[in-house]
């Protein structure tokens, strides 16, 4: 599968691929049969590659991250939901809400679902996965501690940057993941360090809820999380996918702009 992008074209979102450095519209269904179509001139605006009905995020799925958060290793995946309204694409700002406490970046490998999935055994997970993407699970750490559950801390608008594309990925190989803030490396690990593998996560989550095409399982963050402030530029990089870059602004800056 060629990396799948969602772009703005003639004022509307549409799907596209890049071939030999050129943009081509996608003919067909991105979740079914498709092929490259007409070539596009110029550099279109790249949007979040999918519009999920939900992001199912996984907490404490790297041993070292659990240690840095002073929490015991989970006996089964710890899952929570992030709303579709929290999703933004590459280049869109992460807005720190008024009155927010410490707001952290969390680089994660996102697993994009390609067809309706319910009660999927781990061995068949690849049949239901469209590909991989980059996710930044932005979190208000103070609210997370105060509320215990994660909905408010991780559910603000702009708290789920996703992109830049969906790329094919081998669920059984190690996939590198890193983050950089203002050019400085902050996180560097791989999915070989996951407590629960991608296949295990697909099985576990689909035993609980139906996943729809475009939904994302965000597989957890490695150690090295830290705070963001207005003016920062944060990059999440996933091996085989590319880089997701976003600037950080304050709520006041967002209103003024």
Q: Which two tokens stand for residue 116?
A: 């309706």
User: Can you give the pLDDT at residue 255?
Assistant: 57
**Residues 218, 57 contacting (CB under 8 angstroms):** yes
Q: Which two tokens stand for residue 89?
A: 């694409």
User: Can you give the pLDDT at residue 253?
Assistant: 74
Residue 215 has pLDDT above 60, yes or no: yes
Residues 147, 67 within the same domain: yes
Kindly list the distances between the CA atom of residue 174 and the CA atoms of 136, 192, 249, in Å, as whole numbers in the listed order. 19, 5, 34
Residues 96, 9 within the same domain: no
DSSP secondary structure letters along 145-181: HHHSSSHHHH-STT-EEEEEEEE---TTS--EEEEEE
Q: How many distinct structural domains can be found in the chain?
A: 2
Detail the DSSP E strand segments found in 2-62: 4-9, 12-19, 22-28, 34-40, 46-47, 55-59
**Residues 117, 206 contacting (CB under 8 angstroms):** yes
Residues 128, 167 within the same domain: yes
Average pLDDT value for the chain: 95
User: Can you give the pLDDT at residue 64?
Assistant: 81
Phi–psi pair at 36, nearest 5 degrees: -65, 140
Q: From CA 225, how far away is CA 140, in angstroms rounded?
A: 12
Domain that holds residue 113: 55-256
DSSP letter (8 states) at residue 93? P
Residue 256 has pLDDT above 60, yes or no: no
Confidence label for 63 from pLDDT (cuts 50, 70 and 90): confident
Residues 38, 67 within the same domain: no
User: pLDDT digits over 219-239, tens only?
Assistant: 999 999 999 999 999 999 999
The neighbouring-strand residues paired with 47 are 6
- CATH number, residue 234: 3.90.850.10
User: pLDDT digits over 113-158, tens only?
Assistant: 999 999 999 999 999 999 999 999 999 999 999 998 999 999 999 9
Q: What is the pTM of this model?
A: 0.96
Residues 148, 229 within the same domain: yes
**Residues 215, 55 contacting (CB under 8 angstroms):** yes
Residues 132, 157 within the same domain: yes
- Measured at the CA of 53, the angle between CA 47 and CA 58, to 5 degrees, comes to 95
N- to C-terminal Cα separation, the chain: 38
Q: Residue 91: count other Cβ atoms within 10 Å of its Cβ.
A: 15
């Amino acid at each position: 599968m060629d990396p799948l992008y969602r772009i703005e074209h003639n004022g509307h979102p549409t799907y596209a691929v890049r071939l030999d450095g050129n943009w081509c519209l996608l003919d067909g269904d991105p979740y079914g049969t498709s092929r490259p179509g007409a070539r596009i001139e110029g550099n279109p605006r790249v949007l979040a590659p999918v519009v999920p009905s939900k992001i199912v995020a996984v907490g404490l799925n790297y041993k070292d991250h659990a240690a840095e958060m002073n929490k015991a290793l989970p006996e089964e995946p710890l899952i929570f939901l992030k709303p579709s309204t929290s999703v933004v694409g590459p280049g869109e700002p992460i807005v720190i809400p008024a009155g927010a406490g410490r707001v952290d970046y969390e680089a994660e490998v996102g697993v994009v679902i390609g067809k309706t999935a319910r009660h999927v055994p781990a061995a068949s997970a690849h049949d239901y996965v469209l590909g991989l993407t980059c996710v930044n699970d932005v979190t208000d750490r103070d609210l997370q501690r105060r509320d215990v559950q994660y909905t408010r801390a991780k559910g603000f608008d702009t708290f789920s940057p996703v992109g830049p594309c969906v790329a094919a990925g081998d669920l059984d190989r190690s996939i590198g993941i890193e983050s950089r803030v203002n050019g400085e490396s902050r996180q560097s690990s791989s999915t070989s360090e996951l407590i629960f593998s991608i296949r295990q996560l697909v099985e576990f989550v689909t035993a609980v809820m139906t996943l729809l095409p475009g939904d994302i399982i965000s597989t957890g963050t490695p150690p090295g999380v830290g705070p963001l402030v207005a003016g920062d530029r944060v990059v999440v990089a996933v091996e085989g996918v590319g880089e997701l870059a976003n600037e950080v602004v304050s709520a006041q800056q967002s209103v003024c702009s």
